[in-house]
């Protein structure tokens, strides 16, 4: 994988992990905070709701406290049966009740009997001392405010319209009232009680006032953000929660676990609540009457969707910021990585070009820092390589030139050798023929002295002849273009016999015995002309260096499955330390015994060349002072 790809993948992986981690953490943080915040808001809201709720009563209480000082009222209490007074009070207080949006405004005697109801049908004379407000004032002589439940039987007395309102709104025959009762005193003595109340059941104005204190009437996606509900027991009797059917959800019940917690155990309940058709962050607390009995619940809730959406927006914006930042970082990182890798890429390209043989390949751009050092080192190295290579090539060219010069020189030498030898051969041939014509008596008999003199000449000519032969052989062999012409050859008749023919006279002269152990039918795959040179040389040596009267033996043997041919002669042999020199060009082994015997120093060298050209080898064995044997095998 390319380095840049690795960088990019690693970077993306790291940034992705970072982004995911950051997103998760911030999402959790936002969740926790928005929910906490919302829950906190709800808790604040219920205090506002409670406050708004109580404010109504306090207002009523203050109004009634003033009214309690009213002289008309006092006169009426002193003379409750005075019809004119009653009518006057009736009219004035009824107006007052309507003016202050009260459902009830009753004047009660000091023993708890209703003296006057301002609301039609103006029932009176019944004892309501069991009403918690009245009972409280009768007992303590002090005013009181709060919320109470009035049962159906008592509610009917207040006016059937109120009962109908309660039942219509909530299906409940009882009514929950919030209100106040204030004592009317004269001279420190209770002379009566004035009490007011507002029926909460189905009282939309009332509950909307409470709600508005909480959420200022905000709407979110068609739903009121803030909701408030008053429960009588577990029944919604006043609410601005919209029910499943059109209209408010009065008459429905609270969830059982909430009712259980709040109504039975008197504790507040807060959390998410499924209210009719949506989740609300909710707070419920008990509503108590002045006797501290739990008579219902006050609820406020904030639509959770709003907070969810806020939260979603927050999370979305945070996460998108993180991801945008990440992508930007990756892009920046890749750009940086590219610029860092640029020298590496250049180096790689230059190296590849260098390897392909483009010696001038260099990194031409200059970089800073370690990469700069690296590219400079590379360039220096490439310079060195170029210099050294050029040097080596120059030397190779020189060497090649020298070689071909040497070859040419050698060639010229060889050619000259051949030419000279051939040119010498013609005069030699006529000299030999003339000499022997005289010596052998064809031109008349010679005396012994004359013969002896001519013998010396003959010997010199023999040596001369051998030299020429050797040089010719050598010149032929060393011409590189010589191709050996192998064919099936009868060794004895085609090679050995002609070689012996030329030596027969000399063998006779030295009284040597010749033992030819090569069969007539022995065939070899060899060049007969070259093999003739081998036998000429080996036999010539055997005669020349052999002991006077000694034996010469020609043999064919089988050694390690290969045929070996040998020429053996008795004589001085060859010292062990001189064996290595035997087959070298121009090497002549001098020894006292061989003094005066001259050789060209080329014979054995030619033998080895010939044998090797046949893929074989030649070697010598000797017992110094006794015998020597040359053996060869051809492939």
Q: Contact positions toward another protein, by CB under 8 A?
A: 418, 421-422, 425-434, 436-437, 440, 442-443, 461, 465, 469, 472-473, 476, 479, 481-485, 487, 528-529
Rounded to whole angstroms, the Cα distance separating 632 from 441 reads 42
Q: Taking a C-beta distance cutoff of 8 angstroms, is the pair 114, 146 a contact?
A: no
What does the buried/exposed string (b/e) look like for 60-95 if buried means 16 or more CB atoms within 10 Å of the residue's CB? bbebbeebbebeebbebbeebeeeebbeebbebbbe
Residue 325 vs 461, nearer CB to another protein = 461
Rounded to whole angstroms, the Cα distance separating 412 from 25 reads 96
Shortest approach of another protein to residue 615 CB, angstroms?
17
Rounded to whole angstroms, the Cα distance separating 307 from 301 reads 12
Q: Taking a C-beta distance cutoff of 8 angstroms, is the pair 217, 209 a contact?
A: no
Shortest approach of another protein to residue 498 CB, angstroms?
9
Residue 172 vs 473, nearer CB to another protein = 473
Residue 306 vs 486, nearer CB to another protein = 486
Shortest approach of another protein to residue 485 CB, angstroms?
5
Residue 386 vs 462, nearer CB to another protein = 462
Residue 343 vs 418, nearer CB to another protein = 418
Rounded to whole angstroms, the Cα distance separating 241 from 284 reads 14
The DSSP annotation for 36-63 comes to HHHHHHHHHHHHHHHHHHHHHHHHHHHH
Strand partners, 47: none
Shortest approach of another protein to residue 443 CB, angstroms?
6
- Assess whether the previous peptide bond of 121 is cis (omega < 30° from 0): yes
Residue 333 vs 482, nearer CB to another protein = 482
Would you state the structure tokens that stand for residue 579, as one six-digit string?
Answer: 């064996």
Shortest approach of another protein to residue 429 CB, angstroms?
4
Spatial CB neighbours of 150, under 8 Å, sequence gap ≥ 6: 131, 158, 174, 175, 176, 177, 197
3 state DSSP class of 376: helix
Torsional sign, CA 196, 61, 127, 73: negative
Residue 71 vs 505, nearer CB to another protein = 505
Residue 244 vs 426, nearer CB to another protein = 426
Shortest approach of another protein to residue 558 CB, angstroms?
28
Shortest approach of another protein to residue 479 CB, angstroms?
7
Residue 285 vs 473, nearer CB to another protein = 473
Shortest approach of another protein to residue 480 CB, angstroms?
11
Q: Which of 145, 252, 157, 234 lies closest to 198 in space, CA to CA?
A: 145
Angle in degrees, CA 464, 469, 473, rounded to 5: 150
Shortest approach of another protein to residue 483 CB, angstroms?
4
């Amino acid at each position: 994988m390319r380095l840049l790809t690795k960088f990019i993948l690693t970077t993306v992986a790291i940034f992705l992990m970072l982004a995911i981690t950051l997103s998760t953490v911030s999402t959790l943080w936002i969740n926790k905070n928005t929910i906490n915040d919302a829950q906190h808001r709800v808790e604040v809201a219920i205090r506002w709701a409670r406050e708004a709720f109580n404010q109504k009563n306090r207002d009523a209480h203050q109004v009634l406290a003033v009214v309690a000082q009213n002289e008309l009222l006092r006169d009426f209490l002193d003379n409750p049966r005075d019809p004119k007074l009653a009518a006057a009070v009736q009219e004035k207080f009824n107006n007052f009740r309507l003016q202050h949006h009260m459902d009830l405004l009753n004047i009660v005697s000091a023993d708890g009997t209703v003296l006057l109801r301002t609301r039609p049908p103006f029932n009176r004379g019944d004892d309501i001392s069991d009403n918690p407000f009245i009972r409280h004032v009768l007992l303590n002589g002090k005013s009181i405010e709060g919320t109470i439940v009035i049962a159906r039987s008592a509610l009917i007395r207040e006016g059937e319209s109120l009962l109908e309102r309660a039942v219509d709104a909530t299906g409940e025959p009882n009514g929950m009232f919030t209100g106040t009762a204030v004592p009317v005193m004269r001279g420190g003595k209770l002379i009566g009680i004035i009490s007011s109340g507002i029926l909460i059941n189905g009282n939309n104005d009332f509950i909307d006032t409470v709600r508005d204190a909480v959420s200022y009437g905000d709407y979110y996606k068609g739903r009121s953000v803030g909701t408030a509900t008053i429960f009588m027991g577990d029944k919604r009797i006043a609410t601005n929660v919209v029910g499943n059917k059109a209209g408010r959800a009065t008459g429905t019940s609270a969830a059982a676990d909430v009712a259980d917690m709040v109504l039975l155990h008197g504790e507040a309940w807060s959390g998410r609540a499924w209210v009719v058709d949506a989740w609300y962050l909710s707070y419920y607390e008990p509503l108590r009457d002045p006797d501290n009995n739990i008579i219902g619940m006050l609820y406020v809730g904030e639509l959770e969707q709003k907070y969810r959406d806020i939260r979603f927006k927050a999370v979305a914006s945070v996460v998108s910021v993180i991801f945008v930042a990440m992508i930007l970082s990756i892009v920046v990182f890749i750009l940086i990585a590219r610029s860092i890798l640029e020298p590496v890429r250049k180096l790689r390209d230059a190296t590849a070009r260098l390897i392909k043989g483009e010696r001038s390949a260099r990194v031409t751009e200059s970089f800073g820092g370690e990469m700069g050092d690296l590219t400079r080192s590379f360039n220096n190295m490439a310079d060195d390589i170029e210099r050294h290579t050029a040097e080596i090539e120059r030397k190779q060219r020189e060497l090649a030139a020298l070689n071909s010069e040497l070859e040419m020189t050698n060639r010229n030498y060889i050619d000259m050798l051949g030419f000279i030898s051939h040119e010498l051969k013609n005069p030699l041939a006529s000299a030999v023929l003339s000499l022997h014509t005289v010596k052998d008596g064809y031109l008349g008999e010679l005396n012994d002295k004359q013969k002896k003199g001519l013998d010396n000449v003959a010997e010199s000519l023999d040596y001369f002849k051998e030299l020429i032969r050797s040089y010719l052989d050598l010149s032929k062999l060393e011409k590189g273009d010589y191709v050996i012409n192998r064919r099936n050859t009868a060794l004895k008749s085609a090679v050995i016999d002609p070689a012996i023919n030329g030596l027969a006279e000399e063998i006779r002269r030295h009284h040597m015995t010749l033992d030819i152990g090569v069969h007539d039918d022995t065939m070899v795959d060899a060049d007969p002309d070259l093999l003739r040179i081998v036998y000429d040389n080996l036999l010539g040596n055997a005669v020349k260096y052999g002991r006077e009267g000694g034996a010469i033996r020609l043999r064919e043997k089988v050694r390690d499955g290969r045929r070996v041919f040998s020429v053996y002669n008795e004589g001085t042999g060859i010292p062990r330390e001189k064996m290595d020199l035997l087959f070298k060009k121009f090497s002549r082994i001098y020894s006292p015994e061989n003094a005066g015997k001259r050789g060209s120093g080329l014979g054995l060298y030619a033998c080895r060349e010939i044998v090797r050209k046949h893929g074989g080898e030649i070697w010598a064995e000797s017992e110094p002072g006794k015998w020597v044997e040359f053996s060869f095998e051809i492939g």
